[in-house]
Structure 1
């Protein structure tokens, strides 16, 4: 795929895997500034491997990754973070540290000049965390930990937030809360790449890519996906 002039993130023809096992085959994906891109796929489709290749936790065997004007294909994870990319895994937080310590670590990861002011902003977005800020993250419910994980990832004010299965382990009520939070983040200049199997996240997406068997099977707008009846039947069992 040729580089998109307006792309913040451009992954082109990505092959990756573990040892002798190849997981990704020629994956193309781009994220533009300020948009929310949803990477949909079932368990085992290769979503986590792809995200880890973007952030430098899995080596790319073939292809290239650009963030802005920089080729980050072979950069260390820490260097990618300094360029404005943060990664929220399923675990997301340090359970033995307090809520405030987790958020401060997130702010320091990209060298935020004033972590204290950032704390106040994030407590405004996540008021439930303010009253518990001195408590260990391990004391939180699964849904509250997910809120903390999002706050920690946002603490350094990244350009791009990469999220792996934010709905994992959550009740339907908390999944709706995560979707609400992501909807509120739109329009703040932050780009999001969200890997999910829950189609409820289509509600907040600008564009969607469907990954199956380590290959992109569809890419387009949410409207285009909704119009594709064969895709719905094949991947989501929808009529």
Structure 2
């Protein structure tokens, strides 16, 4: 990605927290169109809080968030989604709804006809979901639920997909499958921001930000991180 490419997402100086507890201090992060950025950190580092501030589920106390050059810091979550940013939480799906209903909820901003066409396109990417589309999401295996979560997030046709711990609750085999799917999405030009503690996701990353104690401790390419011995010892032990 050329260094002079304008960021699709630019978060600058983000402070955030809950009540009297501050979780983030001055976090800076950017994602360019079509690239995959990994936000790496252990449990409790502040990854979920940061993602929630990006997508508008909690309010940033300080700092700014720009999407496609527009300041979206004070916009509602639904307005950020309409501008091209979609969020996939750890839970990812509505378990009591059918697979088809989950996907159509994700695509509700597209209009009925367009949503149907988008669902058909996603069933092509995830054929196991087509076979089970009338079944409740709760009937799926953990790996299949994660696929549905990705499909649900993609149904809105985002420019940027923000993902919180896509490896959560998965076996190593399904983690590899999720990584394969994300590598394919990257090839389709979608920008990805993935918060993880599983270093296997370095395989699909363009750049890495390391979050520790609510602060960014490192930002750079995967090669630069691998060459930093202190970071390598500290973070490559993450599971």
The residue number in structure 2 matching 1:142 is 142
State the 1:187 CA deviation. 2.5
Q: Secondary structure at the match of 1:80?
A: helix
Count of aligned pairs: 235
- CA displacement 1:123-169 (0-9 Å, x = unmatched): 11101111100101011111110000000000111000000000000
The residue number in structure 1 matching 2:16 is 16
- CA displacement 1:10-45 (0-9 Å, x = unmatched): 000100001111100000000000000000000000
Q: Distance in 1 between matches of 2:111 and 2:223?
A: 39
Gaps of 5+ in 2: none
The residue number in structure 1 matching 2:209 is 209
Q: Distance in 2 between matches of 1:141 and 1:225?
A: 34
Q: 1:63 to 1:13 in 2, by over 3 A?
A: same
Q: Distance in 1 between matches of 2:213 and 2:7?
A: 25
Q: Distance in 1 between matches of 2:204 and 2:5?
A: 24
The answer (yes or no) to whether the contact 1:95–1:138 under 8 Å persists in 2 is yes
Q: Secondary structure at the match of 1:149?
A: helix
- CA displacement 1:174-219 (0-9 Å, x = unmatched): 0000000000001212100000000000000000000000000000
Q: Secondary structure at the match of 2:61?
A: strand
Q: 1:60 to 1:121 in 2, by over 3 A?
A: same
State the 1:119 CA deviation. 1.4
Q: 1:50 to 1:113 in 2, by over 3 A?
A: farther
The answer (yes or no) to whether the contact 1:111–1:156 under 8 Å persists in 2 is no
- CA displacement 1:38-74 (0-9 Å, x = unmatched): 0000000000000000011111111000001210111
Matches within 5 A, 1:52-201: 52-109=52-109, 111=111, 114-201=114-201
Q: Secondary structure at the match of 1:230?
A: helix
The answer (yes or no) to whether the contact 1:98–1:134 under 8 Å persists in 2 is yes
Q: Distance in 2 between matches of 1:179 and 1:90?
A: 15
The answer (yes or no) to whether the contact 2:88–2:164 under 8 Å persists in 1 is yes
Matched, 1:26 2:26: yes
Q: Distance in 2 between matches of 1:112 and 1:60?
A: 34
The answer (yes or no) to whether the contact 1:82–1:110 under 8 Å persists in 2 is no
The answer (yes or no) to whether the contact 1:54–1:65 under 8 Å persists in 2 is yes
State the 1:112 CA deviation. 7.5
Q: 1:38 to 1:111 in 2, by over 3 A?
A: farther
State the 1:120 CA deviation. 1.5
The answer (yes or no) to whether the contact 1:84–1:158 under 8 Å persists in 2 is yes
